[in-house]
Amino acid sequence: MKQSEYLFNIHSLYNIARYAFLKIESNYARTVETSGITLPQLRILWIIKVFPGISLSNVAKIGCWSSPTVSNMIKILIGKKLIYKEETINKKVYRFQLTELGDLFININKQNKGKKIYLFDLIGIFSHKELDFIIEIFTKIIIKEKKEFIFDYIARINEMNLKIDITGYDENTISIIKKTISVYNLLRTFILTIKSNHSEPLKEFNITYAQLRALWIIEAFPGITSSELSEISFWSPSTVHVIVKNLYCKQYIHKEKALIKNAHYLDISKLGEILIIEDYIKNQKTLLIFEELKDISPNDIISLNHLLVKMNNKLGNCKTEEYVKKTFAIIKDRAF
């Protein structure tokens, strides 16, 4: 296999995995928010339910968050009386427990077919063999990322049936559901680990991971409106507004008022083009993903990509393949 083809397959794997995860995550978040808490807050409730008495640092590790992010969410959950903290001998360390109300919120947010969460759309599109294959490959990747602790969390989530109400399903469907939940959690860990690894070296370019993502989307779809950017990226319009404002101030994009109210046509500037290629050459090619996939055969990567494309198509991510092809064409033209 040629190097360009191999790099394309890795580029595809990362991006189609990311967009499948983002589509499920954004849909899941909207569903949970109707209960009065956010999906990250619910995820903390799950973690504490699975590991009673867990410390803040371990919540952050399992959730793939920074400690300050977890600290802020913990304060909110304590304020809502969903969790409480136990003092330990070390006064600086706290252990967290669920309250009865916190337990109730977990039960309220158990998903079923009636809630139309996208995870249910994936049930039935893969065979047991295909799901086992996806899990096997991502398990190898997670082990190389030294995130083995996530396997215990996933197993316990499934054993305790915290996410899905399995009432009325036959044993075969329940097994499919649990494997689908495993795939979702492995995807999440994979994507957020790469994001974390990539965010640190981006400081040299004075740009955030989100801003870099926006630049690639704008480069792939010249003249895209800010509202279209919101749809493709799964960011809220207010988040897109802030990202676009920052990119424009840094002279990485041009923008022109669109006919649509409160929207702009966006194009990448020469400075922005230079930045994304410099980042690819200096940072992206040295990310852990290239090391993690060394022991996985090229044919297995191709097979995994076919399954992830199938997942994206089912989820309605119609622009993902186009995005992957366009961005890699830019990389191949300017970085090789």
Let me know: does 197 contact 208? Beta carbons within 8 Å: no
**CB-based burial label for 75 (10 Å; 0-12, 13-18, 19+):** exposed
* DSSP annotation of 164: B
* Amino acid at residue number 272: G
pLDDT at 288: 54
Distance of alpha carbon 253 from alpha carbon 255, whole angstroms: 7
Positions of the chain with pLDDT under 70: 1, 91-92, 285-291
**Beta strand pairing call for 264-268 and 224-225:** antiparallel
pLDDT at 91: 66
Handedness of CA 22, 141, 11, 215 (dihedral sign): positive
β-sheet bridge partners, residue 266: 224, 255
pLDDT at 113: 74
Q: Pseudo-torsion of CA 233, 239, 241, 245, nearest 10°? A: -100
pLDDT at 29: 93
pLDDT at 234: 93
pLDDT at 175: 94
Distance of alpha carbon 304 from alpha carbon 283, whole angstroms: 24
Distance of alpha carbon 250 from alpha carbon 271, whole angstroms: 9
pTM: 0.92
